[in-house]
């Protein structure tokens, strides 16, 4: 993948949301939803952002499209600095940057037929001449596995899976380069989810699309991604190739996350790592390593110093993790300081 060109470059991205309070509605604090993250996506690949609720994965997706304006940092897409664009320029840019949301029912206008919705997207971006739009709509409907005559129906006349296909058709209608899929298949039943995942893969091959996939289902993530970025409380804790992450996770959080997935094979025994407690509030994230409050390996150093993303000599090229002790944990020199086998405090 590395020989491909860099399509999206995120540098030191921060997204803080103010919390207003008091009599005068002053900003009393910030939710640090995304706190200084950097990564690059190459053309034609699928990168997944994973993590639990509140880790900042969706916020990152929205910040890239400037659906929320980031607090600080750089977002470079196809050699253009997105954050320096004005509203009009940004709107034109969105022709290349599309998003598919989790709930297609909420993101499709209920008063517009599918034809009107698709037409609107093409009109705003002016990608297809008006007299050819109906042909293009018919083609899009067929591409996503729907009948062209269904284009005159309203969103409520479709099932959940079909609506998600319409969401995909709308994203594809403007021939984008990058699609952010924000939990795009999470709401679907597994048999329908597989249909949509296969469809997304097919389009990627046919149109050289690049996906930023935001998901919490690690089965889906393993299936669709080339690379994975693991986030925890607004920070990247680990990133690398899908195979490398799943087979050789380095960060204690990634290990716990992967071990927590229920495996559909009753004969397979997993050594599960149970994390104590819940994710702390992003309003007041822990000092030092953000994971230290729940990490079974945490020491005094973890509470003081925030670890940087780095690579150890035994790790695969491009696989990085942010943990002070990952090498010592790997060799067994550093043992857990907390019990991870019990679920009762």
Q: What is the DSSP secondary-structure string of 219-247?
A: HHHHHH-SEEEEEETTEEEEEEEHHHHHH
Q: What is the DSSP secondary-structure string of 245-297?
A: HHHS--SHHHHHHHHTSPPS-TT------PPPS-PPPTTSPPSSSTTTTT-TT
Site for other proteins in 171-190 (CB under 8 A): 189-190
| β-bridge mates for residue 42, sequence order | 6
Question: What x/- string results for residues 225 through 244 when contact with other proteins is judged by CB under 8 A?
Answer: ------------------x-
When asked if residue 205 is in the footprint of other proteins (CB under 8 A), the reply is no
Question: What is the token pair recorded at 117?
Answer: 């919705």
Q: Segment near other proteins (CB under 8 A), from 28-36, 261-269, 306-314, 327-335? A: 261-269
When asked if residue 257 is in the footprint of other proteins (CB under 8 A), the reply is yes
When asked if residue 192 is in the footprint of other proteins (CB under 8 A), the reply is yes
CB of 277 to other proteins, least distance (A): 8
C-beta of 216 vs 310, nearer to other proteins: 216
C-beta of 267 vs 313, nearer to other proteins: 267
Q: What are phi and psi of 277, to 5 degrees?
A: 70, -165
Calculate Rg over the CA atoms of the chain: 22
Q: Segment near other proteins (CB under 8 A), from 129-137, 275-283, 299-307, 308-316? A: 275-283
Of 4, 27, 126, 159, the one binding other proteins (CB under 8 A) is 159
Q: Segment near other proteins (CB under 8 A), from 35-43, 59-67, 69-77, 270-278? A: 270-278
Name the nearest CA neighbour of 78 among 131, 6, 163, 23.
6
In contact, 107 and 167? CB cutoff 8 Å? yes
Q: Segment near other proteins (CB under 8 A), from 95-103, 125-133, 260-268, 306-314? A: 260-268
Residues 253, 270: Cα–Cα separation, whole Å? 16
CB of 205 to other proteins, least distance (A): 12
When asked if residue 154 is in the footprint of other proteins (CB under 8 A), the reply is no
In contact, 150 and 141? CB cutoff 8 Å? yes
In contact, 253 and 276? CB cutoff 8 Å? no
Q: Segment near other proteins (CB under 8 A), from 75-83, 154-162, 306-314, 330-338? A: 154-162
When asked if residue 295 is in the footprint of other proteins (CB under 8 A), the reply is no
Name the nearest CA neighbour of 211 among 220, 245, 219.
220
Binding site for other proteins (CB under 8 A): 52-53, 159-162, 189-195, 197-198, 216-224, 243, 246, 256-268, 272, 274-275, 277-279, 343-345
């Amino acid at each position: 993948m590395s020989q491909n060109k860099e399509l999206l470059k995120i540098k030191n991205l921060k997204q803080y949301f103010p919390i207003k309070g008091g009599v005068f509605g002053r900003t009393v604090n910030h939710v640090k939803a995304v706190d200084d993250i950097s990564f690059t996506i190459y053309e034609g690949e699928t990168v997944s952002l994973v993590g639990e609720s509140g880790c900042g994965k969706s916020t990152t997706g929205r910040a890239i499209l400037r659906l929320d304006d980031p607090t600080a940092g750089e977002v470079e897409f196809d050699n253009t600095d997105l954050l320096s664009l004005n509203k009009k320029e940004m709107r034109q840019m969105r022709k290349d940057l599309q998003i598919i949301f989790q709930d297609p029912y909420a993101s499709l206008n209920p008063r517009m037929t599918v034809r009107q919705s698709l037409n609107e997207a093409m009109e705003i971006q002016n990608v297809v001449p008006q007299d050819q739009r109906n042909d293009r709509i018919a083609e899009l409907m067929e591409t996503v596995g729907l009948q062209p005559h269904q284009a005159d129906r309203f969103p409520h006349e479709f099932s959940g899976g079909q609506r998600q296909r319409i969401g995909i058709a709308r994203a594809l209608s403007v021939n984008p380069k990058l699609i952010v899929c924000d939990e795009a298949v999470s709401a679907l039943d597994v048999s329908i989810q597989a249909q949509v995942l296969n469809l997304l893969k097919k389009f990627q091959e046919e149109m050289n699309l690049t996906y930023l996939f935001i998901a919490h289902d690690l089965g889906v993530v393993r299936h669709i991604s080339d690379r994975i970025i693991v986030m925890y409380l607004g920070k990247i804790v680990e990133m690398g190739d899908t195979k490398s992450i799943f087979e050789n996770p380095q960060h204690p959080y990634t290990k716990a996350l992967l071990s927590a997935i229920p495996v559909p094979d009753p004969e397979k025994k997993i050594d599960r790592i149970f994390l104590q407690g819940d994710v702390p509030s992003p309003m007041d994230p822990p000092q030092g390593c953000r994971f230290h409050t729940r990490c079974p390996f945490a020491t005094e150093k973890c509470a003081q110093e925030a670890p940087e993303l780095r690579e150890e000599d035994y790790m695969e090229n491009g696989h990085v993790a942010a943990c002070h002790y990952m090498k010592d944990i790997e060799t067994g020199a550093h043992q857990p300081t907390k019990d991870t086998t019990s679920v009762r405090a």
